[in-house]
Every structure is written in structure tokens, then in C-alpha cells.
């Protein structure tokens, strides 16, 4: 049994948390491999509703070893809050390991992220202001603080002092903000580090051993293919690779071990933040779908920002699933469309009078208008369906049309936010 990667085919918020939670029931390990607390995975279970930001989505299962991999941006304060929240809701103590090679999001990263978005004004990228871009910039500059650096206070202070030299110049002279005191920051990190210390481990070694034992490993991606810095809608992307191809790097599992790649997509499109979004609906139409979407409307799990809403985009999803190297697709939120008489889907883009079916670069994308095909709606509640054959014929017709247009088998179909609201579609 190989490794499974669960990744997004679109702009993020596709419902990866729900799919990972479902797969975790028969997994030994669930591993986060990139990103930080800038996005949230929503999970509903017997303990309540959770928006997991850093914790892997297997955290609710006692048989699952959850791992925060070296590629993740660890916000210590956020992580401690998430662990506290689990304890408050009486979730059994989680089995968690944090990579000693993962790096720490510093408060100064968060400060700089927000200050830069302010400076950009109307040109801003729609950052969640969680410090992710400055964090990954520091990693590339080799100024980052690894979890392992937290074990020795004098060493940590030296690394922090190095890190702050240029940032304090920027804070004071570009953004008009007070400088950060290295000792204060070190003390703060030191205190938080004591809380996470019991979880820290060489997870690469742990996963190598797990692979030798043929353990079942699920790698959990954050955001989606179109937010990948190399293959997405740059510069409206995130700052770490969101592709399954990177999962082996960010987790520490060799590339050839990943044999199943599930690209998750919603039955319609949603997008938080800025950037071209070809099938976007006008505000009034969007609002109707937004209120019905997800488990409590389409609002960002991290920021609460209303998600932009559009029809299913076959061009973007075919590209997203292909660039993920998907072996199958999971379609979520199909139940949300049950109120519609007719459901448009974008089968192509028109750019400068020409129809195309490949996903173009960001510059061209800003000129694209969707070519729509209209599918009949099924107009009945599908949330109780547990087999594909129990779906109304028109719902199956919708799924199968998408399958043809994105050229990828849809295997899992989610018909509600709860764990059991899922069905498997054979070939």
C-alpha cells in the first residue's frame, strides 16, 4: 500500500479536510507538508466543529499518528491555541509529531505581511496576513528559525538577532513601525517552545520507518493547484508549493512512494482573496449560493471573509487536477447545488475572440470570459445518499459530464459536511 496525497484542484477551500478526515479512518499517519495557519480545514464530528489551521486532519483519531512536516510554516502561538481548543472541547489528547526541521513563523513575519499589504493598497495580493510570504522569504534567505533552534536559548537569541537586523530597518524606515526587541522575542518563543517540546521529533526518520513497515500514510495539502507559486495564478498565489509533487519534499516521503493522488474540487467554484476568477458570479447570484454553501455558508475558515463564488470551471479544474498528477478526483458540496433548476458549467474560455480549453497564464486569464454549458438541476435533497446509484439521474448526469470535461475519474462524492455524507463511485 503506497502513500496517498490529498490536494486541491482549485483555489483552496475545496473540502480537503473533510476528505482527509474520511481517509484518516483507515490511515496510520496523516502528514501536513506545506503552508501554515493561513488556511483552515473545516471538520465536523462528535466533538463539534473545528477549523484546523496547522493540525493535520487525522487529529481526531486515536489510531492516527499526526505529523507536521518540515515544509510547514509553524506559528507557535496558533498551534498552542489549536491544541488548547481541542482540550477545551474534550477531544482525547492528540498523537502529534512536529518536525525538528520545520521552521517558525515569527510575529515579525505577521507584522511585515500586514504592513506590506497596507503599503500596496489597491494592488494588494489578498494575503491573509498570517506572515506566510515573509516566512518563506526568510527560509530562502537562510534566516529562518528551525524548531530545533528552539532547544538552546543563547543559540536562539543569536539566530533571532541575525534575523532582525534588516527587518528592523524596514519596520522603522519603510513602514514607520517600532523595531522588534530580539531578547523579548526570544523569551516569547522560548516560553511557547516549552509547550510544544514533547511533540518535536525527527519526523523524516519516523516516516522512513513507517514506509518500511508499509504503514498507510496520507499527505494533506493546503490551498490548491491554482495557488501554487510556479503553476498557479502568480502573483495571487501562496508562497509554498501546493502540488502533490512537493508533498514528498515537504513531508519527507520519497516521490515514488506516492501512488494515489486525490485532487479535491467543489461542485461549483469558490475563491478567497484577489486574482482572476473567470466564472465568478455577480454579487446577488453569488450571495444565494454563498449562503447555502459549505456547512455554514461560504466564508473563509481562517479569516471569515466571504468567498467569491462561481460556476464549476472545467478549464481550471482539468488543469489543476492534471498539474497535481491526480489519479482521481473527489467532488465535494454536490448537495449545495440541489436548489437550482439549471446549473451552468464553464467548458472553455474565450480570450480575444478565441475559444481555448487550456488554462492560460495570469495575464491572459484576466481577459478570459467563460463559455458556459447549462446542465439540468435535480431539485431534490441528496444529503442522505450513501451509494452513487442513490443519486438522482440528473445529479449523476452532472457528475459524469464533469468527469468527461476534466478528463479524470471522479471517485469520491461528498453530499454534506459530515463524515458519513460521502459516497464512492466505481468506474
Nearer to ligand GDP, 69 or 224 (CB): 224
Shortest distance (Å) from residue 39 CB to ligand GDP = 5
235 preceded by a cis bond (ω within 30 of 0): yes
409 is in an annotated binding site: no
Candidates 275, 355, 364, 349; CA nearest to 314 is 349
For every residue of 339-373, DSSP letters joined together read: G-SEEEEEEEEEETTEEE-S---HHHHTT-EEEEE
333 is in an annotated binding site: yes
- d(CA 97, CA 84) in angstroms, rounded, equals 16
- Give the binding-site size for ligand GDP (rule: CB under 6 A): 24
Residue 310 backbone dihedrals phi, psi, to 5 degrees: -150, 170
Letters for 395-414 (x = contact with ligand GDP by CB under 6 A, - = none) are -------------------x
Letters for 336-375 (x = contact with ligand GDP by CB under 6 A, - = none) are x---------------------------------------
Shortest distance (Å) from residue 332 CB to ligand GDP = 4
| Three cell numbers, residue 366 | 484576466
Q: Do 238 and 223 contact (CB within 8 A), yes or no?
A: yes
Candidates 256, 285, 286; CA nearest to 270 is 286
Nearer to ligand GDP, 162 or 383 (CB): 383
Establish whether 192 is a catalytic residue: no
Q: How many CB atoms lie within 10 A of CB 123?
A: 9
Choosing from 28, 41, 100, 113, which is the catalytic residue? Answer: 41
| Three cell numbers, residue 396 | 449523476
Q: Is 301 in the site for ligand GDP (CB under 6 A)?
A: yes
Angle at 271 between CA 74 and CA 425, to 5 degrees: 95
Shortest distance (Å) from residue 154 CB to ligand GDP = 39
- d(CA 63, CA 404) in angstroms, rounded, equals 38
- d(CA 399, CA 402) in angstroms, rounded, equals 5
- d(CA 307, CA 305) in angstroms, rounded, equals 6
89 is in an annotated binding site: no
Establish whether 41 is a catalytic residue: yes
Q: Is 333 in the site for ligand GDP (CB under 6 A)?
A: yes
For every residue of 260-278, DSSP letters joined together read: EEEEEEESSEEE-SSS--T
13 is in an annotated binding site: yes
Q: Is 109 in the site for ligand GDP (CB under 6 A)?
A: no
Shortest distance (Å) from residue 336 CB to ligand GDP = 5
Shortest distance (Å) from residue 337 CB to ligand GDP = 10
Q: Is 21 in the site for ligand GDP (CB under 6 A)?
A: no
Letters for 268-297 (x = contact with ligand GDP by CB under 6 A, - = none) are --------------------------xx--
Residues that bind ligand GDP (CB under 6 A): 8, 12-18, 39-42, 44, 294-295, 301, 332-333, 335-336, 414-417
Please report, in range form, the residues annotated as the binding site. 12-18, 38-42, 128, 142, 238, 301-307, 333-335, 414-416
Please report, in range form, the residues annotated as the binding site for Mg(2+). 13, 40
- Hey, which residues are catalytic here? 13, 41
Amino acid at each position: 500500500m503506497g502513500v496517498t496525497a490529498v490536494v486541491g484542484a482549485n483555489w483552496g477551500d475545496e473540502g480537503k479536510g473533510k476528505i482527509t478526515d474520511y481517509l484518516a479512518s483507515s490511515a496510520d499517519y496523516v502528514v501536513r507538508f506545506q503552508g501554515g495557519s493561513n488556511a483552515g480545514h473545516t471538520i465536523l464530528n462528535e466533538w463539534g466543529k473545528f477549523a484546523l489551521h496547522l493540525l493535520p486532519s487525522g487529529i481526531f483519531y486515536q489510531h492516527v499518528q499526526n505529523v507536521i512536516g518540515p515544509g510547514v510554516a509553524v506559528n507557535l502561538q496558533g498551534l498552542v491555541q489549536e491544541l488548547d481548543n481541542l482540550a477545551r472541547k474534550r477531544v482525547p489528547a492528540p498523537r502529534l509529531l512536529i518536525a525538528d526541521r520545520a521552521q517558525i513563523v515569527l510575529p515579525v513575519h505577521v507584522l511585515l505581511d500586514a504592513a506590506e499589504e497596507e503599503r500596496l493598497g489597491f494592488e494588494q495580493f489578498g494575503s491573509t496576513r498570517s506572515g506566510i510570504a515573509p516566512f518563506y522569504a526568510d527560509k530562502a534567505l537562510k534566516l529562518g528559525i528551525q524548531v530545533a533552534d528552539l532547544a538552546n536559548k543563547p543559540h536562539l537569541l543569536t539566530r533571532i538577532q541575525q534575523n532582525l537586523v534588516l527587518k528592523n530597518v524596514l519596520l522603522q524606515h519603510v513602514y514607520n513601525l517600532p523595531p522588534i526587541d530580539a531578547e523579548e522575542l526570544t523569551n516569547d518563543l522560548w516560553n511557547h517552545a516549552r509547550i510544544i517540546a514533547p511533540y518535536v521529533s525527527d519526523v523524516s526518520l519516523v516516516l522512513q520507518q513507517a514506509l518500511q513497515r508499509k504503514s498507510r500514510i496520507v499527505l494533506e495539502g493546503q490551498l490548491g493547484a491554482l495557488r501554487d507559486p510556479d503553476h498557479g495564478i502568480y502573483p495571487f498565489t501562496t508562497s509554498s508549493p501546493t502540488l502533490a509533487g512537493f508533498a514528498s519534499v515537504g513531508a519527507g516521503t520519497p516521490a515514488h512512494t506516492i501512488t494515489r493522488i486525490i485532487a479535491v474540487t467543489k461542485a461549483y467554484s469558490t475563491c478567497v482573496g484577489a486574482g482572476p476568477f473567470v466564472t465568478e458570479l455577480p454579487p446577488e447570484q453569488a450571495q444565494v449560493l454563498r449562503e447555502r454553501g459549505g456547512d455554514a455558508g461560504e466564508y473563509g475558515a481562517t479569516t471569515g471573509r466571504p468567498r467569491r463564488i462561481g460556476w464549476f470551471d472545467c478549464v481550471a479544474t482539468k488543469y489543476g487536477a492534471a498539474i497535481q498528477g491526480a489519479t482521481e478526483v473527489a467532488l465535494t458540496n454536490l448537495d449545495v447545488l440541489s436548489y437550482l433548476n439549471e446549473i451552468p458549467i464553464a467548458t472553455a474560455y474565450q480570450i480575444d475572440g478565441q475559444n481555448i480549453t487550456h488554462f492560460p497564464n495570469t495575464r491572459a486569464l484576466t481577459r478570459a470570459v467563460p463559455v458556459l454549458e447549462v446542465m439540468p438541476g435535480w431539485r431534490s435533497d441528496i444529503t442522505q445518499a450513501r451509494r452513487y446509484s442513490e443519486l438522482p439521474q440528473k445529479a449523476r448526469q452532472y457528475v459524469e459530464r464533469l468527469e468527461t470535461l476534466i478528463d479524470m475519474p471522479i471517485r469520491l462524492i461528498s453530499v454534506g459536511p459530515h463524515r458519513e455524507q460521502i459516497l464512492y463511485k466505481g468506474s
